[in-house]
Amino acid sequence: MTTKKRVRFAVVHYRQLCNRGVVTRKDSKTSTSTQQTCYCTVLNSTSIAVGIVSVLAVCFATILNNLENSEPTTLPRMAADIETLQENYRQKNKTCFILGASGETGKPLFKEIVNSQIFSKITLIGCRLAFENEAHENVFQEVVDFEKLDDYAAAFQGRDVGYCCLGTTKAKSGEQGFIHVDHDYVLNSAKLAKAGGCSHFNLESSKGADITSSFLYLKVKVCKVEMFHMY
């Protein structure tokens, strides 16, 4: 719409408002001219705003249309890539061990590793049998005494990958017991695994771990992360 058409439209609409009693029309030419000019300015700003909103609406509708019509190829491609990586890893005939496989996080981890079948041998290391009534192919269990862990170094020999889910709580074992399990047991296990040929040690830590935290739990979890610079 040209400027002349906008002004003509504004004047006509202004007169309609006057006839309806919405706007009081003054007889003074100066006053009428001022009101018409002001109304034209408002009309012009409103038109610009409406135009911007219209453009944004069209753009948004176009984006939604493209999303609806696009084929979801990303996820299938990712799944195929993961399967390829897993198959390549299987060919390497790697072995692993899991510490704390009977715990809350150890159980689902063990299940996932068994189902993935990426390791030729899985060894569960703990102070007792993790699964007494369950038998899995290529799964073995080693019972050790964490207080004398050096005497069980053979349990860590020849494992390529390690997973550590060891842990307790302060309420269950007391403050010193918690530190002993979550720090000392883990550190000693990592050292024996390193000496036994383990090249990749995966440690379960905690979100929010902070050495400056006032919570003992978060402090210990940071220590567990920091001591694995050896890997």
Please calculate the CA angle 50-53-56 and round it to the nearest 5 degrees. 150
**Residue 172 among the catalytic residues:** no
Number of H helices, E strands in the chain: 7, 5
Q: Is residue 99 within 8 Å of 91, Cβ to Cβ?
A: no
Q: What gap in Å lies between CA 111 and CA 220, rounded to an integer?
A: 27
Q: Which of 194, 217, 219, 231 is catalytic?
A: 217
CB 177 within 8 A of CB 216: no
Residue whose entry in the numeric block shows the structure tokens 């063990």:
110
217 part of the active site: yes
Cα(97)–Cα(193) distance, rounded to whole angstroms?
A: 9
Which of 14, 163, 185, 221 is the catalytic position? 221
Amino acid residing at 222: V
Task: Give catalytic residue positions.
Answer: 217, 221
